[in-house]
Amino acid sequence: EAQVTQNPRYLITVTGKKLTVTCSQNMNHEYMSWYRQDPGLGLRQIYYSMNVEVTDKGDVPEGYKVSRKEKRNFPLILESPSPNQTSLYFCASSSRADTQYFGPGTRLTVL
The smaller minimum CB distance to other proteins, of residues 45 and 86, is found at 45
Is the Cβ of residue 26 or residue 80 nearer to other proteins in the bound state? Answer: 26
- Contact positions vs other proteins (CB under 8 A): 4, 31, 33, 35, 40-45, 48-50, 56, 58-59, 90, 92, 94, 97-105
Is residue 68 within 8 A of residue 53, CB to CB? The reply is: yes
Nearer to other proteins, 8 or 16 (CB): 8
CB under 8 Å to 25, separation ≥6 — which residues?
3, 4, 5, 32, 72, 74, 91, 93, 101
The minimum distance between CB 53 and other proteins, in angstroms, equals 15
The region that residue 42 occupies, defined by phi over 0 for left and psi between -120 and 50 for alpha, beta otherwise, is: left
